[in-house]
Structure 1
Amino acid sequence: MHVGIIGVGLMGHGIARNVLSRGGFALSFLDHPGNQPTDEIRALGATACATPAEVAAASDVILLCVTGSPQVEAVITGKDGIATTIRAGTVVVDCSTALPESTLRMGEVIRKAGGDYIDAPMTRTAKHAHEGTLNLLAGGPAEVLERVRPVLASFTEKVDHVGPLSHGHRLKLLHNYVSIGFMTLLAEAAAQAGDAGVDPQVFVDVLAGGGGASVALDRLAPYIVSQNRDGLPFFVSNALKDIDYYRSMSEASGAQKTVADAVSAALSGAVAEGHGDAYVPELVRLFRTAPEA
């Protein structure tokens, strides 16, 4: 199978290199200013394309790793979009974090154009993308998922079929709400501890030995203790986007979102102050009463 990828960012770059090096698939990618440097994947044989339509025309499987629903809709339905040239039987695998309602609409667009659609968002980090050990939450017809499993296996450790189309994105938003919510809460607590002069290592050890032990603590501890942010290269602006997607999903279904509103407010404050490009662990500093520059 020939694979196409649109979105060679922090996650997509790792996916692309593993599709080539571990999977041995031919790869076309959209040449875009938002990409990470593409020298490595070009050296492995990847071919640059000028438009999503050009990627689609060459591909049996198309991986989308873009920011969110507006970007997914643009590369599918826009001028020179995927839907204009997709071949019969080609499968679009949307690994982005997107709104379930948009996913259903885009699935219908692709089906009308002759292709198939799977939503398969990721639940790990850029480090796992680089290592080829991502986990995916896949929604859509089981038989379509089986057709693309060889491609997905090249960059994943686990692929769970979680239900019909849009359930992958629904579960990703639920997952990210819990994950980002935990980390935002922890960052606020760590900031207060720092303001009070609590030894950061003692703070981490006390949480780790009790009810605060968690993946959130594991991810933020390097920053709390030694200001190392690189364990979680995830922008605060993207965290806010995911939380607000969750809030939109909750509002559409009439679900309670009181805590989500508070998490959004905390992240919105950091973004409004110009820190959208900070990594999430840096919230520990940004939430201080007098954060350093």
Structure 2
Amino acid sequence: MHVGIIGVGLMGHGIARNVLSRGGFGLSFLDHPGNQPTDEIRGLGAQPCATPAEVAAASDVIILCVTGSPQVEAIVTGENGLVGALKPGAVVVDCSTALPDSTLRMAEAVQAAGGAYIDAPMTRTAKHAHEGTLNLLAGGDAAVLDKVRPVLASFTEKVDHVGALGHGHRLKLLHNYVSVGFMTLLAEAGAQAADAGVDPKVFVDVLAGGGGASVALDRLAPYITDGNRDGLPFAVANAQKDIDYYRAMSQEAGAQTTIADGVSAALAGPVSAGDGTAYVPELVRLFRRGGAS
């Protein structure tokens, strides 16, 4: 199988290098200004393409790793999009974080063009992408998923089939709501502790020894104690986007969003102030009185 990828960013670059180096697959990628430097993957044999249609024409499996639903929709059904050039039987694997309703519409368009669609968002970080140990939440037909498992195996540790098409993205939004919600709450508490002069190491130790022990604490602790944000290179603006996708999904279902609304409002402050590109651990600083360092 020849693989295509659209979105060679923090996550997609790791996926691309492992598709090539671990999987041994040929790879085409969309040449785009938002890509990470592509020297490594070009050196491994990756071929640049000018449009999504060119990627589709070359590929049996096409991986999408972009910001959200508007980008996915433009890639799939927009000008020079995938659906105009899909190979018969090609499979689109959407690893983005997207709205389930949009996912179903894009799948219908791909299926009408003779292809198949899997939503397979990721639940780990750029470090895991680089190492080839991502986890995927895959929704869609089991037979289609089995067809692309050799490709997915090149950059994952675990691929869970979580249900029907759209369930991967639904579960990713549920996951990110809980994960980002925990970290936002923790950042607010960390900011208050810092403003009160609490020793940051004592703060972390108290939480770790009690009910605050969590993956969220593990990810934010290096920033709380040492100012190291690099353990979680995930932008605040993207965190807000994911929370707002969760709210939209919940509102469509008639579900309660009281706490999600509060998390979104908390994240909106730094984004509105121009700090959307800060990493999530930096919320501990941004939530302090006056955003003090």
Q: TM-score, normalised by structure 2?
A: 0.99
| TM-align CA RMSD | 0.5
Aligned to 2:57: 57
In percent, how many aligned pairs have the same letter?
Answer: 80
Aligned to 1:172: 172
Aligned to 2:274: 274
After TM superposition, the structure 1 = structure 2 runs for residues 110-259 of structure 1, keeping only pairs within 5 Å, are 110-259=110-259
Aligned to 1:9: 9
2: CA distance, partners of 1:257 / 1:227: 32
Q: Which runs of 5+ in 1 are unaligned?
A: none
Aligned AA for 2:134?
Answer: L
State the shift of 1:230 in Å.
0.3
2: CA distance, partners of 1:290 / 1:202: 24
Runs of 4+ in 1 over 2 A off after TM superposition: 290-293
2: CA distance, partners of 1:267 / 1:91: 36
2: CA distance, partners of 1:222 / 1:138: 31
After TM superposition, the structure 1 = structure 2 runs for residues 8-47 of structure 1, keeping only pairs within 5 Å, are 8-47=8-47
2: CA distance, partners of 1:9 / 1:143: 29
- Residue 88 of structure 1 pairs with residue 88 of structure 2: yes
SS at 1:290 equivalent: helix
1: CA distance, partners of 2:106 / 2:75: 10
Aligned to 2:104: 104
1: CA distance, partners of 2:104 / 2:57: 23
State the shift of 1:26 in Å.
0.3
Aligned AA for 2:196?
Answer: A
Aligned to 1:289: 289
1: CA distance, partners of 2:287 / 2:224: 12
2: CA distance, partners of 1:4 / 1:32: 14
1: CA distance, partners of 2:291 / 2:172: 32
State the shift of 1:292 in Å.
2.9
1: CA distance, partners of 2:202 / 2:22: 42
Aligned AA for 2:133?
Answer: T
2: CA distance, partners of 1:137 / 1:38: 27
Aligned AA for 2:29?
Answer: F
Q: Show CA shifts across 1:68-113 (max 9, x none).
A: 0000000000110000000110000000000000000000000000
1: CA distance, partners of 2:291 / 2:129: 32
Q: Show CA shifts across 1:135-173 (max 9, x none).
A: 000000000000000000000000000001000000000
Aligned AA for 1:135?
Answer: N
State the shift of 1:253 in Å.
0.3
2: CA distance, partners of 1:99 / 1:281: 25
Aligned AA for 2:46?
Answer: A
SS at 2:233 equivalent: coil
Q: TM-score, normalised by structure 1?
A: 0.99
State the shift of 1:255 in Å.
0.2
Q: Show CA shifts across 1:196-230 (max 9, x none).
A: 00000000000000000000000000000010000
Number of aligned positions between the proteins: 293
